[in-house]
Structures are given as structure tokens and as C-alpha cells.
Structure 1
Amino acid sequence: MDNKVVARVSWIPTEQGGKKRFPLINYSTAAHFHYDVADRDWSVVLNIISNYDNYETLCNIEFLFPEKAPGNLLFVGSTFELYEHRKVADGEIIEIEKEEVMR
């Protein structure tokens, strides 16, 4: 069984120092999870589910290298920040869907 992790991402508006162009399908960047006691940053991949509504979007989120990342950071209510060379968004995991693996 695999888990699909759904997050709500609130992008910082361009005029407030956010991205000039927001991702439409996939996006990979650095993330800092507030619950990471080791205070590390992780590379994540976002797959956009919904279009932008008031600078918010829904997306599936996963670690770029899941075998090296702590799975305990992915739980409903976990919050994180996305960075490029500056902070570009805040996020929160809102749902974890269980997926059956076909054999």
C-alpha cells in the first residue's frame, strides 16, 4: 500500500516577494517542515491538483528522495515552507489517502 499526501499551499503574491510565475503541473523545490526536530530542509515534488484560488492550491506532495527522508514528517496537520532563494509559500498537509497497489 502507498500513501498519497495532499497539501494546501498558500503562495506568497509576486508583489510581496513571491514567485513571478506559479507552477501549473509539477514543481520541485526545497521545503522546511516545522516538525523536523533536526531542523533540516528536504527536496520535495508537488503535483498540482487544483488551479489557483486566491494564491492557494491543492497538490500531492512527496519527497524527491523518499528513501532518505523521514516519513514521520508527513501527517495531517504537518506544516512546511517552500523555498527557492527565498520563501515562496507556506503549506499544510490536509489529507493522506491510502492507495492500493495493483499486483
Structure 2
Amino acid sequence: MLRFINRLSHKTQFETGKIISSEGIINDNGQIIANGGIDLTSKTGLNNHGSLNLNKLTVSGEIFDNYQGKLSARQALINTNSIDNHQGEITTTELLSAKSGKL
């Protein structure tokens, strides 16, 4: 199992590629900047309280938590049991698909 954790104003920068996590992604006040070339996939949810700049985001599982977070992506595909975007911002340039049992 792989869990990706980025905390405390840490800036993680990528040129291109993929980040795939089978155990969840936590971005706690950090930044994941991909210059539009990263696909980020999480199969058990995403906690983003920082900043994500991605090519494509795919999240499934329990929760997409973007409380006070900022997500910028070309495409965002969110299919979770719960979505929390209180005081958060989601911006896409091509596609936003959000399916959830609870907003």
C-alpha cells in the first residue's frame, strides 16, 4: 500500500508523470505543482488543505476533502462518498465531474 503525504508548506514540484496512491493522499498545507503535466490518482480519497496544480485528478473512495484547499486542473474526476469544499476552490479548464452521496 502506498500513501502520499505532503505537509507543512512543503512544495513538491514535478514536470510530468503520474502519482498513483492505493492508500490515500494527504496534502496538509503543502503544494503539489505539476506545471500541468501530472496525473494524480487516489483510490481511497484525497485530503487537500493546500494547493494542487495538476493535469488530471482522479479520486475515488471515501472522501474528497478540499476544505480551505485549492485545486487547479485540466480535468478533475471525483467519485467519492462525500465531498467537502468548504472555503475551498476547484478550477478546471476542460472537465469537472463530481459524483458523491453527500456534499
Same fold, TM-score > 0.5, yes or no: no
Higher strand fraction (1 or 2):
2
Q: Which has the higher contact order (CA 8 A, sep 6+)?
A: 1
Shorter-chain TM-score category? Answer: under 0.3
TM-score, normalising length: structure 1:
0.26
Which has more radius of gyration? Answer: 1
Higher helix fraction (1 or 2):
1
